[in-house]
Amino acid sequence: MYKLINKVLTIFLGIIIVGLLLIYGLYSGYIRFNYPSLTEYPVQGIDVSHHQNEINWQQLDKERVRFIFIKATEGGDFKDKSFTINWQKARDQGFVVGAYHFFTFCKPGEKQAQNFIETVPKVVNMLPPVIDLEYGGNCQLTMDKSQVLAEITILIERLEAFYQKKPVLYVTQEFFDDFLEGQFEQNPLWIRNIYRTPALKGQRPWLFWQFANRGLLDGIDTVVDLNAFNGSKEEFETLIKN
């Protein structure tokens, strides 16, 4: 009887240890759910903000990091403190760069557009501006759906008019389902899904995929978001030149 109990306890303890190791591996970035290959997705990149601290741009693997989206602004007045230095150093190292704006529910679209335009220079061969649409870290939602869409529309139109590129919409699955299904279909999507390859309702295509939020790369001493472009190297070149 005691042998059976000891055996059960040993198995139970082993399961707990394996579970804890798995949790640690996922949290620390050593284990991911997605590992898109460079054969299937030859153009991959990252997105960064001040949360990545000081980046050693020379150490970044340019085979794995072909593009970088850099946080520029949030809401009507917040400017990421690391944007300017990240933008300059990434460009100096030859990376293709783009900037993103975190859309908030508590500021008008016009004011948010002005914040971004004041911060992000218009340069040749840059990626389209990105509007980050998600619930996490946002203001309390007090508007109805039509009001939210109206403010996003203003932001899209202002950024497209200034940068002459259709803004990319970064979305979580939840935000897409609640607001974007059937909306802004001319704007490319950048979808977050750290568990599997994205599949949106209505088979709507996506252009970028954030496949991990705790990636590990030489040159960055924190975890970082990993992304893939849904297309060939030639299609990527077309994107930045148009």
Ramachandran angles phi, psi of 192, nearest 5°: -95, 125
Please state the domain count of the chain. Answer: 2
Best CA proximity match to 121, nearest among 81, 151, 157, 91: 91
* Band of pLDDT at residue 153, cut at 50, 70 and 90: very high
Residue 179 DSSP label: I
Ramachandran area for residue 45 (φ above 0: left; ψ -120 to 50: alpha; else beta):
beta
Residues 93 and 162 in one domain: yes
CB 184 within 8 A of CB 192: no
Give the tokens for residue 191: 């979808």
Residues 158 and 236 in one domain: yes
Mean pLDDT value across residues 108-120? 98
Residues 235 and 122 in one domain: yes
Q: Could you count the other beta carbons within 10 Å of the beta carbon of residue 71? A: 24
Mean pLDDT value across residues 203-209? 96
160 part of the active site: no
Q: Could you count the other beta carbons within 10 Å of the beta carbon of residue 53? A: 10
Write out pLDDT tens, residues 18-62: 545 455 445 556 678 899 999 999 999 999 999 999 999 999 999
Residues 8 and 87 in one domain: no
Ramachandran angles phi, psi of 56, nearest 5°: -90, 90
CB 96 within 8 A of CB 66: yes
The CATH number assigned to the domain holding 101 equals: 3.20.20.80
Write out pLDDT tens, residues 162-185: 999 999 999 999 999 999 999 999
Residues 116 and 222 in one domain: yes
Residues 13 and 90 in one domain: no
Give the tokens for residue 62: 């340019």
How far apart are the C-alpha atoms of 242 and 234, rounded to whole Å? 12
How far apart are the C-alpha atoms of 44 and 231, rounded to whole Å? 10
Q: Does pTM top 0.85 for this prediction?
A: yes
How far apart are the C-alpha atoms of 31 and 119, rounded to whole Å? 36
Residues 20 and 55 in one domain: no
Residues 16 and 136 in one domain: no
Residues 20 and 91 in one domain: no
Would the pLDDT of 242 be above 80? no
Q: How many residues does the chain have?
A: 242
Ramachandran angles phi, psi of 12, nearest 5°: -65, -45
Best CA proximity match to 171, nearest among 193, 151, 190: 190
Q: Containing domain of residue 161, as a range?
A: 36-241
Active-site residue among 40, 118, 134, 234? 134
Residues 21 and 100 in one domain: no
Residues 106 and 218 in one domain: yes
Residues 9 and 55 in one domain: no
